[in-house]
């Protein structure tokens, strides 16, 4: 196995091959930190990979979030698991950690460091993801060099304290209707029984926290989500 799941494999910026590659990673995107897990995060991630997730984001946020050395150590362990299975490892909102670990990319929200800056610091060989909650934010993120968008919250979520108002798939539809073809996932309250409309309305995949991390059997939960999505792709 290659140590870096993407790195040299990621096609050059602006090419159709790169966009296809990123899109192929969108179907089932697990976002997770220790706070979200009922079992050891390492085990949840292993099971989620066994169940078929295609991309992973380390998002260590919330009151009980790890910090300092523990935060970095968990990141390293989860990155190792991702590498072992060739799943790209994305870091949420922490450029310095991503650089230190040589992560595959960074995901930022609207209140985090600007995407232009993230792209400039990471260079062209890494993945930059941006959360967008409107067509305007989506267009700006694309201009800033985003490789993919996370659009949400699609449904009510209890995994993010400062979530924006629920918009259903409206913003995804607006983005697609305006002709933007950038790879994108829907996020927020998505589970196996409500994932299909998200894909139907234009997303390339779904990003989930609790549907997998809070499941009694994360591998089964991931498998069922994968199935619900595949029926629509």
Q: Using CB under 6 A as the criterion, which residues of the chain lie in contact with ligand 3NM when the complex forms? A: 31, 131, 150, 152-153, 157, 159-160, 163-164, 187-190, 208-211
**Which residue's Cβ has the minimum distance to ligand 3NM?**
152
Residue from 25, 119, 126, 160 carrying the catalytic annotation: 160
Check the annotation: does 20 bind a ligand: no
> Is 160 marked as binding a ligand?
yes
Entry field: residues in the chain: 233
Any known ligand binding at 134? no
Question: Least distance (Å) from ligand 3NM to the CB of residue 76?
Answer: 22
For ligand 3NM, the closer CB: 116 or 164 = 164
Give Cα separations from 18 to 2, 9, 26, 69, 125 (angstroms).
19, 9, 13, 34, 10
CB–CB of 191/208 below 8 Å? yes
Give least dist CB 92 to ligand 3NM, A. Answer: 8
Q: Tokens 């790209």 label which residue? A: 88
Q: Is 24 annotated as a binding residue?
A: no
CB 183 within 8 A of CB 57: no
Q: Which of 92, 166, 159, 98 is nearest to 129 (CA)?
A: 92
Give me the least distance between CB of 129 and ligand 3NM, in Å please: 11
What is the crossing angle of helices 68-84 and 41-51, to 10°? 20
Structural tokens at position 79: 């990155």
The single-letter DSSP state of residue 63 is T
Of 59, 119, 126, 226, which residue is the catalytic one? 59
Q: What minimum distance in Å lies between the beta carbon of 160 and ligand 3NM?
A: 4
Which residue among the candidates 34, 131, 167, 226 is catalytic per the annotation? 131
Active site residue 59: yes
Backbone angles phi, psi at 184, to 5 degrees: -150, 150
Whether 131 is a known active-site residue: answer: yes
Would residue 226 show up in a list of annotated catalytic residues for this protein? no
Say if residue 60 carries a ligand binding annotation. yes
Q: How far is CA 204 from the centre of its chain?
A: 12
- What residues are annotated to the active site? 59, 131, 160
Which residues sit in the known binding site for Mg(2+)? Answer: 93, 112
């Amino acid at each position: 196995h290659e140590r870096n799941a993407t790195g040299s494999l990621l096609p050059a910026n602006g090419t159709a091959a790169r966009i296809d590659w990123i899109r192929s990673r969108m179907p089932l995107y697990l976002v997770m930190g220790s706070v979200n897990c009922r079992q050891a995060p390492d085990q949840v991630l292993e099971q989620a990979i066994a169940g078929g997730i295609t991309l992973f984001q380390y998002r260590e946020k919330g009151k009980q979030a790890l910090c300092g050395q523990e935060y970095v150590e968990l990141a390293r362990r989860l990155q190792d698991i991702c590498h072992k299975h060739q799943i790209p490892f994305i870091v949420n909102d922490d450029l310095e950690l991503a650089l230190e670990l040589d992560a595959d990319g960074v995901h930022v929200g609207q209140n985090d460091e600007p995407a232009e800056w993230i792209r400039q610091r990471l260079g062209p060989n890494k993945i930059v993801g941006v959360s967008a909650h409107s067509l305007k934010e989506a267009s700006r993120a694309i201009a800033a060099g985003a490789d993919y968008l996370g659009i949400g919250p699609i449904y009510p979520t209890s995994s993010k304290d400062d979530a924006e108002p629920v918009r259903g798939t409206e913003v995804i539809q607006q983005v697609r209707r305006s002709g933007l073809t950038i790879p994108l996932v829907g996020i927020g309250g998505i589970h196996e029984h409500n994932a299909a409309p998200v894909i139907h309305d234009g997303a390339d995949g779904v990003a989930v926290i609790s549907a997998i991390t809070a499941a009694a059997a994360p591998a089964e939960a991931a498998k069922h989500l994968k199935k619900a999505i595949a029926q629509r792709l």
